[in-house]
Structure 1
Amino acid sequence: MARGGLVARVGLCAPGGIRLTGAVLMVGLTGGIGSGKSAVATRLVERGAMLVDSDRVAREVVAPGTPGLAEIVETFSGRVLAADGSLDRAALGAIVFGDEAARRRLEAITHPRVRARSVELAAAAAPDAIVVNDVPLLVEVGLAPTYHLVVVVQTAVSTRLARLARDRGMDRAEAERRIAAQADDARRSAAADVLLTNDGALAELHAAVDALWRDRLLPYERNVRERRVVRAKRVELTEPDPTWPQQYVRLAARIRHALAPMDLRLDHIGSTAVPGLAATDAIDIQLTVPTLADADGPLAERLADAGFPRVPQERWDGPRSAGSGRWEKRLHGSADPGRPVNLHIREAGSPGWRYALLTRDHLRADPDQRAAYLLLKRELAASAPDSATYTTAKDPWFDEEHLRAEEWAARTGWRP
């Protein structure tokens, strides 16, 4: 039984997904054919998740007697019907396979219905539900940004081929054709917030799923519902992670989806945006708004619903030039315990906005200043490991860095 007493299978298979309001945590689950994705889905349901089955809903909306099936017959003729009046998927596939226009006509019939039914069923979720959407083609159709978290099940191709032969009686040529028709491992990995490797025993997979549920999904759901931000109290420097830029891309896409149709500028800033620089493992993102008043109200609520609640109390940047006054901003963070984020919302063209971009670009361009800053970070992390002291202790260095960066900007013609 799901948490809150609800078990359902709903779906999200069309590009664009659905935007849920409120606190329901949406998890996208995907993996190549034969990867063991269904085993992960089953285990999550056993732990208490509400399973979202995109394949099942896609069949439901074209079942006998539905408007969806009627429109398909009207569009493609009665030859797509089986003798019992159900949809003959093989006959329909023969028509749309290799015909882009026909495929798009079919999608125009099915996708809106799947979206509408998905919204209807997901809206019935309990207030504290964790909704897991099992979508085989999640990456292929660009749905990753519509979820709070994307879980990818990855398995070696040789293992997948053996499973497809053993469990589905599929010959090797057909199995290879189906695997080749889907996204490859690299593309799925790029979309994954969590990568579950499933090359071992089922018990190993269950242990990994149980840990994901206990350590990440349960607290993530609670944090989203309670608008709580994950923030570290102590500073722990992490060696440069080459995946930080890729992680930023995923987070930025999620934020853009949450704020659509607003088209606001997002930038990766801070130490994780500077190659080769050790940093606290939190992704710093700058969201640009026309005025700070635009950062309040509906925009703040949309960010909170997407897993980026506002940090309480007023926030501002320490000014780096005399007489410039306080550099006001809004600060949001991440509700995801597995991925801390500092989301700085600043007004376009404001001093703090410009300085965040200038400092990042200067450190990227100047190896000597980058090395000096790294040395300072290591010294302070060892001597002042609490976050507040660490941040304040860096101020004198940044005051001098501001002057150096402005000189560099004037010399090179830098613009934000």
Structure 2
Amino acid sequence: MMRIGLSGGIGSGKSTVSTLLGNLGATVIDADQIARAVVEPGTTGLQQIQETFGEEVIADDGTLNRPALAAIVFADTDRRKELEAITHPLIGERTAQLFREAPADAIVVHDMPLLVELGQTNSYHLMVIVDVPAHVRLDRLVEQRGMTRADAEKRIAAQASDEQRREAADVLLDNSRGLAELEQAVKSLWHNRIQPYADNLQHDRPVRRPDTVQIVDPDPDWAVQARRLCRRIAHQLDAAGFTDVRIDHIGSTAVPGLPAKDVIDLQLQVTDLSVAHQEVGDRVTRTHGAEHVDSALVGCSFKAALKGAGFTGLRPNEDHAQAWAPDPDLWRKYFANGADPGRLVHLHIRQAGGPASEIALQFRDWLRADDTARDAYAHFKHATAQAHPGGTPDTKQDYVEAKEPWFAQALPKARAWAEQTGWAIEGHPLR
């Protein structure tokens, strides 16, 4: 199934978006509804809250006095953690059950306020954030919900910042202009991105780049998008038991200031390419004892884990062998595409420590360090795209092939730079 995480700050209108998506056909799992259900009269949840916080949080009719409890927990971080220790496991258990009960071909929207705060955004094929500036949300809480300004400010301060949510978002839905505009935006998102994405996942259909070559100006958001995608892949592989991997943003979009095709290239290094065929076990669902279900595929095949991260069309491929390592077997790899029509992504799966994986990183870092080399490559790319613009399936690859003689000269320069500078791979494998 396709999994969508839906979140937004208090007062953003997230519930409205959730309702609109449900009307369009999504299966909605509403964390707020679950949170209310697990503390209804007669539940163990309400009993534990009463024992922990006292009679003052119980209303005369035996229900939870939410304003009284909120006044306690939003004023004291330790007390809020006590509440979360009670409610999160209960909510997680119920959420996991609802995920299990959803049809295999469903588009499941997990409507949850705290996805960003809890660092649990990596389990979804798509993260949708309802975006409204904090000062607008503050006014809404005061005017529409009758909160005092001080209480509203405390609620907002206890949540993630607008910047943190935007960092996590594949899709930002602006809900500051009115219901009509929001409804149109949600319908467009559903028909143009969510439904095609879900269909691609079901049929293992990759999204390929257009036949026409188009070089665009550098976009600072490329790096943000790549980080999000890397975390998503790492999370799914880790959950499936494939932990000995490394994921990097490579290619032109990984070089600040370099024009490029609007395609995110990622490199996944594995210890052995045979992992692409590895079957580990069965599909299961894990719950982390929090207000969240991790529906990653624990013990699944490598291919299924990639599909859990939104990548399809896994297939053997190869890079052009270079003079310093002429054996073609050293340049074999696997390749997959993203299934999201809203973000073109290429995933290169290469042997760790092999010449192909190493030069991909060295070339990227050389261009990052040498402005002259970067600008020369930019000029070459523009000229080559003009000479080989593609436009048909038969001419689509002409641009790529035309660059190979240039790479045969440039890549040794990148290797020489790496040797002269004592280059080493930064960071550690993502786990």
Which one of 95, 109, 118 corresponds to residue 86 of structure 2? 109
**1:332 counterpart SS class:** strand
Identify the residue that residue 239 of structure 1 maps to in structure 2.
Answer: 217
Query: Does the CA contact (< 8 Å) of 1:271 and 1:277 recur in 2?
Result: yes
Asked if 1:380 corresponds to 2:389, the answer is no
Gaps of 5+ in 2: 279-300, 391-395, 426-431
- The TM-score normalised by the length of structure 2 is 0.84
Alpha-carbon shift at residue 126 of structure 1 (Å): 2.7
Equivalent position amino acid for 1:373 in 2: Y
Q: 1:233 to 1:411 in 2, by over 3 A?
A: same
* Cα deviation code 1:157-205 (max 9, x no counterpart): 4433443344223343333333333222212111111111122232111
Equivalent position amino acid for 2:308 in 1: D
CA distance in 2, matches of 1:81, 1:173: 24
Identify the residue that residue 289 of structure 2 maps to in structure 1.
Answer: none
Counterparts in 2 of 1:257-296, with a 5 A limit?
Answer: 257-261=235-239, 262=243, 264-296=245-277
Equivalent position amino acid for 2:334 in 1: R
Alpha-carbon shift at residue 104 of structure 1 (Å): 3.6
Identify the residue that residue 21 of structure 1 maps to in structure 2.
Answer: none
Counterparts in 2 of 1:5-404, with a 5 A limit?
Answer: 24-73=1-50, 80-90=57-67, 92-93=69-70, 96-97=73-74, 100-234=77-211, 235-261=213-239, 262=243, 264-297=245-278, 298-312=301-315, 314-321=316-323, 323-326=326-329, 327-386=331-390, 387-404=396-413
Larger displacement relative to structure 2 (273-282 or 194-203):
194-203
CA distance in 1, matches of 2:168, 2:147: 28
Gaps of 5+ in 1: 1-23
CA distance in 2, matches of 1:58, 1:173: 25
Alpha-carbon shift at residue 232 of structure 1 (Å): 1.2
Query: Does the CA contact (< 8 Å) of 2:134 and 2:162 recur in 1?
Result: no
Q: 1:330 to 1:395 in 2, by over 3 A?
A: same
CA distance in 1, matches of 2:179, 2:63: 36
Equivalent position amino acid for 2:259 in 1: A
Q: 1:413 to 1:156 in 2, by over 3 A?
A: closer
Identify the residue that residue 17 of structure 1 maps to in structure 2.
Answer: none
Query: Does the CA contact (< 8 Å) of 1:289 and 1:295 recur in 2?
Result: no
CA distance in 2, matches of 1:94, 1:175: 11
Query: Does the CA contact (< 8 Å) of 1:258 and 1:306 recur in 2?
Result: yes
CA distance in 2, matches of 1:92, 1:179: 17
Alpha-carbon shift at residue 98 of structure 1 (Å): 5.3
- The TM-score normalised by the length of structure 1 is 0.87
Q: 1:203 to 1:248 in 2, by over 3 A?
A: same
Q: 1:364 to 1:396 in 2, by over 3 A?
A: same
CA distance in 1, matches of 2:269, 2:345: 16
CA distance in 2, matches of 1:368, 1:376: 12
**1:342 counterpart SS class:** strand
Query: Does the CA contact (< 8 Å) of 2:74 and 2:155 recur in 1?
Result: no
CA distance in 2, matches of 1:101, 1:39: 32
CA distance in 2, matches of 1:147, 1:376: 38
Larger displacement relative to structure 2 (396-405 or 98-107):
98-107
Alpha-carbon shift at residue 113 of structure 1 (Å): 2.1
Asked if 1:405 corresponds to 2:414, the answer is yes
CA distance in 1, matches of 2:162, 2:80: 26
* Cα deviation code 1:357-393 (max 9, x no counterpart): 1111111112222122112211222222334211111
Q: CA RMSD in A?
A: 2.2
Identify the residue that residue 3 of structure 1 maps to in structure 2.
Answer: none
Equivalent position amino acid for 2:224 in 1: Q
Query: Does the CA contact (< 8 Å) of 2:30 and 2:110 recur in 1?
Result: yes
Alpha-carbon shift at residue 68 of structure 1 (Å): 3.1
CA distance in 2, matches of 1:219, 1:184: 31
CA distance in 1, matches of 2:308, 2:155: 36
CA distance in 1, matches of 2:162, 2:76: 27
CA distance in 2, matches of 1:91, 1:201: 32
Alpha-carbon shift at residue 95 of structure 1 (Å): 5.7
CA distance in 2, matches of 1:156, 1:90: 25
Alpha-carbon shift at residue 404 of structure 1 (Å): 1.0
CA distance in 1, matches of 2:344, 2:80: 41
Alpha-carbon shift at residue 291 of structure 1 (Å): 1.1
Larger displacement relative to structure 2 (366-375 or 340-349):
366-375
Count of equivalent residues: 392
CA distance in 2, matches of 1:139, 1:210: 24
